[in-house]
Amino acid sequence: MQISTPVSSKSTAEVKGGKHPVFPVGHMVPFVLVTALFFLWGMSNNLTDILVQQFRKSLELSQFSAQLVQTANFFGYFCMAIPAGLLMRRWGYKAGMVTGLLLFGSGMLLFLPAALRDAYGIFLVALFTVGCGASILETAANPFIAQFGDPVTSEQRLNFSQAFNPPGTVTGVLIGTYFIFSGHEPGAAEIEQMKQLGTYKAYLHSEVMRVVPTYMVFGAVVLFFALLLMRTKFPVIQVEHEGAGEDHGNFGDLLRMPSIWIAVAANFCNVGAQISSWSSLIPYMKQYTPVSERTAAHYLTAVLVVMLFGRFISTPLMRYIRPSLMLGVYGVLNTIMMLVVVTKPGMVGAWAIVVSGFFISIMFPTIFALGLKGLGCNTKLGGSLLVMAIVGGAIFPPIQGLIARQTGSLALGYVVPAIGFAGVAIYGFYQSTQRTLLSGPAY
């Protein structure tokens, strides 16, 4: 499924007269198309933050049960990441991306039968399928971009492509805010009146059905994009020995590379902290402020906009500041933000979550790029482990929801993402002390 045109770090450096170009020379079409994938799955991932609140209301769920939305979606990452790595080891990055898009789009189409039956279980199956597809996409796209050019600039290149993820997340939240949230939030008296009139179940069903148009259109777009990618020629990544008959790596080699396992642990903490922080923002504001669902969703949008600015501002600074050191500092600052959320519930806490978006901005791509340094032919398999670590997004939110249910305080639940960001800080500072290629040079 791939042509034989090689991409090597040596050739790109020579084209630029010994400098270190960020973008691949002569292969911009596949680079642009793969970068567009970051926008697509960004839309999906943050629509789940809207679904947590929508299902909590329309299916009358507890905060713990509603957080299973995140568990179903991100558990798909855990289950499919290693199979995706094996698939790509055999067939290459393009096969992985197309397979991921087909599975991704199919999961979205499952929202129709789930909504027609008011079946939360089917919704969770659909979200799991979407997560499996997204897992394959991320397992393919992240290492492809990191390896697609000069290895010295891999962190900058991946941060650039990942910068198109926040616009996708913003778009997803805005679509959810205005096309999934109805803006109708009945109080106890109105609910009781609807029950007496026998219209309450019809109201709940209408709220459930509001998710269908968004996911049907989105699913169709994703499947169309799969067809587009099928017709695109991809180059061979020479540094990964993608040529026929060459060594494609094995998991046994990775067992002797502690750097990848430390990065996996850091990514587990990072994604778990990020998802639990975002998915509880709307319920947090509903508990501690008088704002409506839509107003609270605007704060979630603000988090993502701030994240976008954080990535565009921070990525150029990596020419002067060691990426791993920046990661450590940002981890500390986000730990502080989460402690503010815990101790200052209300608008102060909500704004602390918004500010945290700036420091979250570089975490995933920087951890990912650092984790892949020096893996060579094992890059696809190493990338699959880093994507598998996204299962943190399935584990942290239910723990946070359980704390909220047991204590009655959503604020106290934010101790969970605080711990996760502290783990990221430790990883960043650890890597910055290594003084090796893994640390990421400051230019």
Question: What is the distance, to the nearest Å, from the Cα of residue 347 to the centroid of all Cα atoms in its chain?
Answer: 26
Q: Which residues contact 326 (CB under 8 A, 6 or more apart)?
A: 314, 317, 318, 362, 366, 428
- The larger pLDDT score, comparing residue 241 to residue 330, is at 330
- Give the tokens for residue 187: 């109080």
Q: Which residue has the tokens 């169309």?
A: 224
- Is residue 279 scored above 50 in pLDDT? yes
The one-character DSSP state at 24 is P
**Ramachandran area for residue 5 (φ above 0: left; ψ -120 to 50: alpha; else beta):** beta
Cα separation, 265 vs 107, in Å, equals 28
What is the reported pLDDT for 235?
75
40-44, 203-207, 273-277, 379-383: least confidently modelled range: 379-383
The one-character DSSP state at 289 is S
Q: For residue range 134-177, what is the model confidence (pLDDT) as tens digits?
A: 989 888 888 888 777 777 677 777 778 877 887 888 898 889 88
Show the beta-strand stretches assigned E in 145-269.
236-237
* Distance, first Cα to last Cα, the chain: 37
- Give the tokens for residue 319: 């020419």
Cα separation, 113 vs 122, in Å, equals 8
Q: For residue range 223-277, what is the model confidence (pLDDT) as tens digits?
A: 998 998 898 888 766 555 444 444 455 666 777 778 889 999 999 999 999 999 9
What average pLDDT does range 289-302 have in this prediction?
A: 91
Q: Is the dihedral of CA 159, 160, 165, 166 positive or negative?
A: positive
Cα separation, 443 vs 441, in Å, equals 6
Contact 46, 304 (CB under 8 A): yes
Residue ranges of domains in the chain, CATH in brackets: 25-439 (1.20.1250.20)
- The pTM of this model reads 0.74
What is the reported pLDDT for 342?
97
What is the reported pLDDT for 248?
52
Contact 315, 160 (CB under 8 A): yes
